[in-house]
Amino acid sequence: MSNLPLNVVILAAGKGTRMHSNLPKVLHEVAGLPMLAHVVECAKQLSADRIVVVHGHGAETVRATIQDTSLHWALQAQQHGTGHAVQQAMPEIMPGGSTLVLFGDVPLIRPETCRALLKKAEKGLALLTVIKHEPKGYGRIVRGFDGHVTAIVEEKDADQEQRAIQEVNSGIMAMPTDLLAGWLSALRNDNAQGEYYLTDIVALAVAQGVRVITEAAEDEWEVAGVNSKIDLSDVERQYQRHAARRLMQQGVTLRDPARFDQRGVMKAGRDVEIDVGCIFEGLVEIGSHVSIGPYCVIRNAKIADGTRIAAYSHIEDAVVGADCRIGPYARLRPGTELSAEAHIGNFVEIKNSKIDHGSKVNHLSYIGDSDVGKQVNVGAGTITCNYDGANKHRTVIGDRAFIGSDSQLVAPVTVEAGATIGAGSTITRDAPAEALTLSRAKQITIAGWKRPLKKKS
């Protein structure tokens, strides 16, 4: 690649009428991120010297959502076509070098494809094309008898013979920046739509003797644009199909790739097994020999080797050590850290707590803002009462402590090492080591008491 400046212009001004939504089209999500964010990330991977986003409809919302200080913004207040959009970007573009034009509603474009296109742009105007068996709605690539590109004709302006052409324009193109500036100033809007088409620069290049070169997209889905919710769902599923395939190539076992969703970055070790319906968001790192049951949601988490996660468990902003057992129906909230061989069972919620080696919280419990030592057993229905209505307080449970079922530990409180808390206790003061601590009302029996009867209507 040349050492000259690389500009990337991303067209993101459209309203997206067919989306039937108040949200600007480019902010609709694919794999958990706005479509525009995917395109910006592609541009960054190209090491672009300047990325200019042309925004228009919902401009304030777009800028508020894509909060990236490295971006330059150009406003297209009135949408008069793609050529007009790039004209608005020109004051922000660095002179010299090359300019690549991308689209904010084409989220699956790959950096590798863009690099190949930019390589060809060193010799002229480079167009990214694709063969579509049903090319309706796309501009057709018109070639002369020698096979060279002579024009791109939009479908609304195409005659019957041109509409039969299956090689279509993706809209993505790259060219020398200085040539682009001249072509944009020469654009006219004498067409069926009364718009300034960026594609008209092809005819201008041909007229000047500038070489027009094409690069074929390897996969049709890579240049798929989104104009409706149906398109959005198709692109989403294609993204997930590609993500699933990549993981399986690395050795991950997916019980059903069609029922897998990755919405971020995922790293996995060897012999990982993932059942159906799981969702992975943000940055997720999974060690080797990990098993994840059906319908789990894992977000921004690290899962160490040998851990087994049972069905319907939710893990967010948490670190899980090796050989842990989690779920089913467990929830690890932000700030949770499990050491090796910890057990978190069904309907257990852990929040902002550290659970040390070999400790078990197996049933129907809430552990929040706590430090739990090694080999602790927490009985069913235990609650750490960490919130006094204004402030959070911590609970400390020492090594080998045993917490009886249905206990409430009212923070701030410490249960020392080896202590036993009798079932049904409410602990408001520190419990000493190696002793039994109880807090129960006196048990009484009331003779002659009868249950109330339901009144007859």
What is the mean pLDDT of the segment spanning 108-125?
Answer: 95
Is 363 one of the annotated active-site residues of the chain? yes
119: pLDDT strictly greater than 50:
yes
Quote the pLDDT of residue 383: 98
| pLDDT band for position 224 (cuts 50, 70, 90) | very high
- In the set 72, 357, 363, 393, the catalytic residue is 363
CA angle 142, 145, 147 (to 5 degrees): 65
- Rounded Cα distance between 198 and 83, Å, is 4
Is-contact 104 190, C-beta < 8 A?
no
DSSP 161-229: HHHT--EEEEEEEEEEHHHHHHHHHT----STT----GGGHHHHHHHTT--EEEEE-S-GGGG----SH
- The Cα-based distances of 240 to 30, 129, 130, 272 in angstroms read 9, 24, 22, 18
Q: Which two tokens stand for residue 41?
A: 């990330």
pLDDT in tens, 102-114: 999 999 999 999 9
Residue 442: Cβ within 10 Å count: 4
pLDDT above 60: residue 320: yes
Domains assigned to the chain: 6-223 (3.90.550.10), 250-351 (2.160.10.10), 375-457 (2.160.10.10)
Is residue 328 predicted with pLDDT exceeding 70?
yes
Confidence of residue 350 (pLDDT cuts 50, 70, 90): very high
- At 1 the pLDDT is 47
